[in-house]
Amino acid sequence: MTRLNRITLDRLKRLPRIASVWEGDRRSVGGWMDDDGGLRQRHTETNDCILWIDSGHGAVRGLTIVPTNCGYEPVVRTLLQAIESPQGNLTPARPQKIVVSDREIQFYLRGALQGLDIAIDYAPELPLIDELFNALQQSAEMTEAELPPSYAEAMIDKAMEIWELAPWNSLNEQQVLAVEINAWDIETLYVSMLGMGGVEYGLLMYRTLDSLKQFRQRVLLEQQSPKQMQETFLEQDCLFLNFELFDDEPLPIDSQAVSWLAPAPEAVQPDFGSIHPLEGMRSQLADEEGATFLVAMEAIQRFVTRYRSQLEKPSSKAIQGNYKIPNPEQNSGSTTLKITVKTLPEVTAELADQTDEALGHAPPSLPGFPVLRDDYVPEGAIIILTQYRRQVLATVGLDPLVTFQPQGTVFQKHASPADVFQTNGATEPPDLPVVLIQTSRPKAKTLIQQLQAAQGVQAVCFNPGSDPFSGDAFELGLLQTGDGELHLFAEYETNGSTDRKLLERWHQWQHDCNGACAVVIASGITGNSKGKPGVKDILGIFEARCKTPKDLHLPPLMLQYAAEWEGD
């Protein structure tokens, strides 16, 4: 059974212990409630509400909504939130006793909370929770990040050095580094890089290798809801450094267009925290955790700087570096720490094999993930998922100034418009689904030249994934070119109704057209036709096919397990 670590126990024991009895329970809410505690439209998945109430004061101290099929860990996490960050401006404190109405929860809490000096009893009925359960409409508030005062400035400075170093350009999430520290109850941290996929940037530093492997196995499972993916994320055992990205001038987005911005903005903010199966995500760090961050980041920085060229080449041999790192704890008696950083080729190979197996055994000709790039679609381009009449595109394709790439029978460049539609006896086939990319004329011509050099557009694919730090679900729009590479053209947030409806319409359109589609490149982004280009703005037409992620052997880009992108 997973127990709280010593640092957490020490922190909780410093809180006052009050002569109070708390009631806790877990009740099904059938999908009617969401994480903000308010009522929401019913979803197909079933959720549970975990509730902790101070029976002496009749006050709600903690509330969380979780998927019904998750384990008992969220019960502990909600209790710890009720102790340290109670709702309603209540004072942080430990109860003298807690009472639950589920025997299995009682036994689990007795094991998980050892050392906190809290009595854990059972009662078949909990009248107060029965009375208040359906009336509660507020949820636990996330505490603001709080770094150890003595290390805060140094941690931020070192994090920005990591950002400038950009180790994710050399290491993907499968290329795990072992950082042997042997201090502050940490023997070895197993570090996975976020960033090669361009979705999240940062470091996940696992306290155990088993936690890393277990997490990876779970995120490779198919058909996880956003809540399930978020729960999977919270069951890790690691320290994390995440870089929050800021856009200075967000562009307006209409109902059918997505503006694609630069993949790596200069404005970033480092966020530190800890994740533990019984605590969830915590941004309040102890001094020992701050010291661990400083030492680990310094060692990683030295290692990547020294061995970057070797790290970027496939190798079956381990690379190791030994360093003397200044001890942040000045009064510890030791001025330096001996830190070892090394690659783990066997672990990397094992994780790669797990990914291939999850993908249904990718063809052996693929050494890894396909190359994914985000440098073709110009910054500031507008992406529109729309439909065009085939006759219109076929006619525009006859213009010698328009680049035209037919692949099958959808278009015939030199045929008359009437001939184009004589397929299967139908004279009015469905309008063709189109990925329309609008940018400036020079950038449109450059994009067309790049696509031609890459042997044209072969397929359009929407690949699912999720944001590990928010639980948001998304789908990445990808173009596959004839050279086998994939090119990102837009990101769609499937939690929101607008993007979800766009994708639903697209999938229906392509179904009606038996998978046929096209990619249209247009100019006019700086004129009156911005967001609604006319026929005169079309500069390139590429016929393509709609493909599924399985067709292209792509994993879901869940959490840090993004597919491998080509670095600079």
Among residues of the chain, what percentage have pLDDT more than 70? 76
- Nearest CA to 85 among 28, 45, 143? 143
For 179-198, write each residue's pLDDT tens digit.
Answer: 999 999 899 999 998 876 55
Among residues of the chain, what percentage have pLDDT more than 90? 30
Under a CB-based contact definition with an 8 Å cutoff, are residues 321 and 341 in contact? yes
Confidence of residue 470 (pLDDT cuts 50, 70, 90): low
**Is the pLDDT reported for residue 223 higher than 60?**
no
**Is the pLDDT reported for residue 537 higher than 50?**
yes
Res 516: pLDDT = 92
Res 567: pLDDT = 35
Res 30: pLDDT = 53
Res 265: pLDDT = 44
Check residues 67 and 293 and name the one with the higher pLDDT. Answer: 293
**Residue-wise burial string across 121-160, b where 16 or more C-beta atoms lie within 10 A, e elsewhere:** eeeeebebbeebbeebeebbeeeeeebbeebeebbeebbe
Confidence of residue 138 (pLDDT cuts 50, 70, 90): very low
Would you state the torsion angle of the CA atoms of residues 67, 72, 76, 78, taken in this order, to the nearest 10 degrees? 20
Distances (CA, A) of 89 to 84, 293, 361, 548: 11, 31, 53, 49
Residue 158 structure tokens: 């070192």
Cα distance between residue 320 and residue 342, in whole Å: 4
Res 380: pLDDT = 79
Task: Encode 366-390 in three state secondary structure.
Answer: CCCCCCEECCCCCCCCEEEEEEECH
Res 356: pLDDT = 64
Confidence of residue 543 (pLDDT cuts 50, 70, 90): very high
**Is the pLDDT reported for residue 515 higher than 50?**
yes
What size, in residues, is the chain?
568
Strands 457-466, 557-558: parallel, antiparallel or unpaired by DSSP? parallel
**Is the pLDDT reported for residue 219 higher than 50?**
yes
Look at residue 122 and give its three-state secondary structure: strand
**Is the pLDDT reported for residue 266 higher than 90?**
no
- Nearest CA to 548 among 493, 496, 478? 478
For 408-458, write each residue's pLDDT tens digit.
Answer: 656 544 344 433 434 444 456 788 999 999 988 888 999 999 999 889 999
For 149-170, write each residue's pLDDT tens digit.
Answer: 889 999 999 999 999 888 887 8
Check residues 202 and 408 and name the one with the higher pLDDT. Answer: 202
Which alpha helices (DSSP H) does 144-286 contain, by range? 152-165, 209-219, 226-234
**Is the pLDDT reported for residue 568 higher than 60?**
no
For 324-374, write each residue's pLDDT tens digit.
Answer: 999 998 776 678 899 999 999 898 888 877 766 665 443 333 345 567 787
Confidence of residue 148 (pLDDT cuts 50, 70, 90): confident
**Mean pLDDT (whole number) for 72-82:** 91
Cα distance between residue 329 and residue 339, in whole Å: 15
Residue 380 structure tokens: 């500031």
**Mean pLDDT (whole number) for 502-514:** 91
Which helix (H) or strand (E) element contains residue 291? Answer: helix 287-311
> What separation, in Å, do the N-terminal and C-terminal C-alpha atoms of the chain show?
44
Instruction: Pick the range with the lowest mean pLDDT from 24-38, 216-230, 535-549.
Output: 24-38
Which CATH number applies to 6-135: 3.30.420, 2.60.450, 3.30.460, 3.40.50?
3.30.420
Instruction: Cite the residue boundaries of each domain of the chain with CATH code 3.30.420.
Output: 6-135
Q: What are phi and psi of 514, to 5 degrees?
A: 55, 35
**Mean pLDDT (whole number) for 47-71:** 84
> Could you tell me the sign of the dihedral formed by the alpha carbons of 173, 178, 179, 185, in that order?
positive
Distances (CA, A) of 241 to 12, 208, 326, 494: 23, 17, 20, 26
**Mean pLDDT (whole number) for 87-108:** 88
Under a CB-based contact definition with an 8 Å cutoff, are residues 562 and 173 in contact? yes
- Nearest CA to 519 among 454, 566, 428? 454
Under a CB-based contact definition with an 8 Å cutoff, are residues 188 and 214 in contact? no
Give residues with Cβ within 8 angstroms of 103, minimum separation 6: 122
Query: Whole-number mean pLDDT of the chain?
Result: 78
Res 259: pLDDT = 34
Check residues 361 and 530 and name the one with the higher pLDDT. Answer: 530
Q: What are phi and psi of 305, to 5 degrees?
A: -60, -40
Amino acid making up residue 7 = I
Res 460: pLDDT = 94
**Is the pLDDT reported for residue 10 higher than 50?**
yes
Res 531: pLDDT = 85
Confidence of residue 378 (pLDDT cuts 50, 70, 90): confident
**Is the pLDDT reported for residue 492 higher than 50?**
yes
